[in-house]
Amino acid sequence: MPRWEGFRQCPGCGLDLLTGEGVRGCAWGDCPYLPDDLRVTCDYCTFNFLTMEGNPPCEDPMTCEHAQEPLAHVENLRLWAAAQGPIPR
C-alpha cells in the first residue's frame, strides 16, 4: 500500500484537502504531514492543480515546468478523498 493511502488528518482538523477550505486544527497554512504523493499545489507559486485556482506567474500552468509532479498527484488525492468520505464541518 502506498504511504498516502494510509494518511489520516489530525483529529479536529476540518481542512478540506480538496478545496483548501475549512477550519484547520493547527496554525500551519498547509498540512505539514501531507505525504508528497498527495500534494497538488505548485512548489513555486502554490497554484492548485486540482481546483485550478491560484495566480500563477506562467501563461499556462498546465505546461509549466513545475506542473508535472503536482499533476501526477491529482488522481492520488481524489482516490484518497473518496476513501475518506465526507469531511465533517
26-61: per-residue pLDDT in tens?
Answer: 887 778 899 999 999 999 998 999 999 999 999 999
Indicate whether 87 pLDDT > 80.
no
Cell readout for 25 is 486544527
Enclosing domain of residue 5: 1-89
Q: Say if CB 49 and CB 71 are below 8 A apart.
A: yes
User: What is the per-residue pLDDT for 30?
Assistant: 78
The neighbour count for residue 86, using CB atoms within 10 Å, is 7
Q: Based on the structure, what is the number of domains in the chain?
A: 1
Q: Mean pLDDT across the stretch 21-26?
A: 86
User: What is the per-residue pLDDT for 29?
Assistant: 72
- pLDDT tens for 63-77 read 999 999 999 999 999
* pTM of this structure: 0.84
